[in-house]
Every structure is written in C-alpha cells, then in structure tokens.
Amino acid sequence: MALPELKQTATQERLSSLSQPEGGCLAGARHAALSRVQATGLPGRRDEYWKYTRPDTLVQATAPEASVFHHDEEPMFDGFDRLKIVFVDGVFDESASDDLELEGVRIDRISDISKQDIHWVKDLYGVLEARGQSPVARPLAALNTAFAREGVAIHVTGKPSKPINLIYIHKSEKSDAMLHHVIRVDPGAEATILENGPAASRFNKCTEIDIADGASLHLICAQGRDHERRAATHMFARLGKETTFKSFTLTVNGVLTRNETVVELLGDDAVAHVSGACVGDGDFHHDDTVFVTHDAVNCESRQVFKKVLRNGATGVFQGKILVKNKAQKTDGYQISQALMLDDDSQFLAKPELEIYADDVVCSHGSTSGAIDENALFYLRSRGVPNDAATDLLTLAFLGEAVDEIEDHEIATDIVERLENWLIRRR
C-alpha cells in the first residue's frame, strides 16, 4: 500500500538530510534498514502507536535546537569504578574515554567494525531491530540502523570486574546524534552496563542485545537533566535459556523522550525485568513504550514504571505482554503508575495483555493519582514539614521502580539524586 503523501514527503525530507556510511561489513544491514524505513515511512501524528506522543520533532529533517544545561551536581556514576566510553554530541571522544580493554569483555567501535568482519556483530546488527518491526513498525529504529555511524559493540565473554559506562555529553545546541550499540553476552557470562547523560539536542539511540543461555545483563540508564533535549531510544533484547535481563531507566527533565523496549523471551526459565522512574515538570513529555513477548516455558517478566509529574507535565505508558501459545507457566506482571503533584499534569496509559497459552499468571495495573492526604497528615502530625513529607511520599512512590536496581550503592545514589531534584523544585 502506498504511503500517505504527507508521510512520504516527511520521510523523504528526513532521508535526504542524511547519508549512509559507505561499504564495510554492515552495508547490507544498513541498506535493508533503509528499505524498511522507506516501506513504512517515518512516524506521523496519525499513527496509532504515536497517539499520545507527537513524533514531529523527532522526525523533522533538522533537529530543534536545545540549550546546554549546566549544573553543579556531580556527574552520574562518577563515584563508581567503571570503564568509561565517552561520546560528545554522538561522537566518540577518545581522550575522555578509558582504554577499551577489560578482562571478560571485548569492546569495539561500530565505526571500526565496518572495516573488519566480526561475525557476531554482523549476525546481530539490524537483526533484532528488524524482528522488532512486527507486529508494530518502529521506523525510527530502522532509521538508526541505516544511518548511525557510531556506537559500540560489546562482547561479554566472562565476568568483567567493573561496569562499562557509556557517557553521553551534550555540547552543541544544534547537535543531532545517532548511536547504535550491539551487545552480546556469551553463555554463562555476566555484565553491568551504565549509561548516562543528555547526549545531544536530539538523540536517536538503538541498542540490540543478545543474551545467550545462562547469561545475565544489567542495564542502568540515566537520561537528563537537560530540559530542552529530545530523544527516541530503542532497545531490542533477545533472551536465551535461564537468562536474566534487568533494565532500569531514570529520566529527569527533557522536553520529549520516547523509550521503546522490545524484549523476546525465547529460552525456557528466562527472567526479564524492565523498569523506569521519571520525574518532570512543566514542558516535560515522557513516553515508555514496552513490548514483551513470551515464547518459551516458565519465564518471568516484570514491567515497573513510575512517573512523577507536575506543572503540566505529560507521562505516557504503552505496555504490552504477549504470551504465545507454547509459553506455558508464564509469570507476567506489569504496573504503570503516575503521581500527579497538581491538577495540570496528565498521564496517558495503554496497558495490554495478549495471551494464547492457558497456564499462565499475568497481571497488570495502571493508576494515576495525587499524594495520599491521609499519609501526608500522618507524617505532618509527627512533625515532618509538609514539603519534606511530600518528598518522602514521592520517593516512596518511586521506590518500587528503583528497587529493581540490584546494585544497592547505585540505587542509593539514584534515590539521593531524585531527592535533590524534588528539593530543588519545592
């Protein structure tokens, strides 16, 4: 079917502003991705999947400018021993990065891989993204596969002694960055990957993750705190037998963020937890779109998303659990909740379950509400001032999502940062 004219024009305009990296072993994947974008067109306002989030500024040929936000808070994860890989406005910064050497893991830059021929990267780059285009198209991810020049290929072969930290620095008001990462975790291997920073004025990130049997991966991502930045991120994860995948995303500020997560549980006894906490006020729009597919026996999945909104901020949640007919003994859980600190904010939620197996436990819940007045009075009657009591209850609300972080020290650090955010906005 031909694309509507408006969509075709917008897509052509965007495509003509970009050029593909030439040659290399990923050329085939990039060309195929370009065909996918051309076939579906880029997201438009009338697309059902973009009903609650306007894609215009994510799609338009030139990125809207975003001022660089300066603050005196210690950069995220600075207090932790990690291997740093720094990108400034989407470009690898060798001098600010550590040597990409760490026992138990091999790290290559996507821009170098094009010249080499690393089999696992070829087998993964654009592959999970392509799988993730059905049943719902994700054209911004295909656009990323087709045009991203930078990113890292992380091959976890053992148990690296420290986390790998991807740091995204925003320097130029006009930056429009694309990064494509591929991560492969070998059987029985384990790693933690941290990501933080605003990245660019407009950021398109795509991560493909392949977790082999018995392996585990933890991802902790902090987006923020630049107010005017825009981001569309996609994460595609494929889980083998007896694997564990846990992802937590913290989003602070940002005029537009759309985080799409696509998880496929393909091996028996796999566990996938996808969680997120966000805080925003005023001109803040945050969208979590999650699609978890159970296609194996006895797997567990959890989606836990909490949003604190005020002064007209908007939160969106579109979450789905699809249980295929052979996925017996599935344990699926999904919760999305918004805490609205005033009457001006809104939360738009579309929780979905689609179940074809008959022996499953699946539950979902979605709520939006204000601070519990009874709890607030209880705290105040014990002498806790109104502001502090409100903050305490707000942090408690975010707690269920933050609790998904296994590393206690990182979780504590994130709670402190959230607390400071709340205090600054009293």
Partner 1 sequence: MLNINNLHVQLEEEDKQILKGVNLTVEPGKVHAIMGPNGSGKSTLSYVLSGKGGYEVTEGSATLDGQDLLEQEAEERAAAGLFLAFQYPVEIPGVGNMTFLRTAVNAQRKARGEDELSAAEFLKEVRAQAKSLKIDAEMLKRPVNVGFSGGEKKRNEILQMAMLQPKMCILDETDSGLDVDAMKLVAEGVNALRSENRGFLVITHYQRLLDHIKPDVVHIMANGRIVKTGGPELALEVENNGYADILAEVG
- Cα-Cα-Cα-Cα torsion 87, 93, 94, 97, nearest 10 degrees, comes to -50
Type of residue found at 282:
G
By beta-carbon proximity to partner 1, the closer residue of 134 and 381 is 381
User: 10 Å Cβ neighbour count for 187?
Assistant: 14
Cβ distance to partner 1 smaller for residue 16 or 381: 381
Measure the CA–CA gap between 57 and 189, rounded to whole angstroms: 40
- Closer by beta carbon to partner 1, 292 or else 389: 389
Minimum CB–partner distance for residue 368 and partner 1 (Å): 17
| Closest approach of partner 1 to the CB of residue 418, in Å | 13
Pick between residue 10 and residue 335 the one whose CB is nearest to partner 1.
Answer: 335
- For residues 400 to 419, the per-residue mask of contacts with partner 1, x marking binding by CB under 8 A and - elsewhere, is x-------------------
Task: At 306, give phi and psi (nearest 5°).
Answer: -130, 135
Separation CA 396–CA 6 (nearest Å): 46
The answer to whether 393 contacts partner 1 (rule: CB under 8 A) is yes
For the chain, what's the residue count?
426
Which residues, 346 to 375, sit near partner 1 by CB under 8 A?
373-375
Among 77, 245, 305, 397, binds partner 1 (CB under 8 A): 397
Q: Which amino acid is at 368?
A: S
* Window 373 to 392, contacts with partner 1 (CB under 8 A): 373-375, 377-386, 388-389, 392
Give the interface size with partner 1 as a residue count (CB under 8 A). Answer: 22
The string of DSSP letters for 172-213 reads: -TT-EEEEEEEEEE-TT-EEEEEEES--SSEEEEEEEEEE-T
Residue 80 or residue 333: which is nearer to partner 1 going by CB?
A: 333
Beta bridge partners of 83: 164
CB closer to partner 1, 245 vs 305 = 305
- The CA distance from 345 to 347, in Å, is 7
**β-strand partners of 179:** 150, 205
Q: Which is nearer to partner 1, 348 or 379 (CB)?
A: 379
* DSSP single-letter state for residue 99: P
Report the residue from 24, 104, 188, 399 that binds partner 1 according to the rule CB under 8 A: 399
- Least distance CB 370 / partner 1 (angstroms): 13
Name the site residues for partner 1 (rule: CB under 8 A): 373-375, 377-386, 388-389, 392-393, 395-397, 399-400
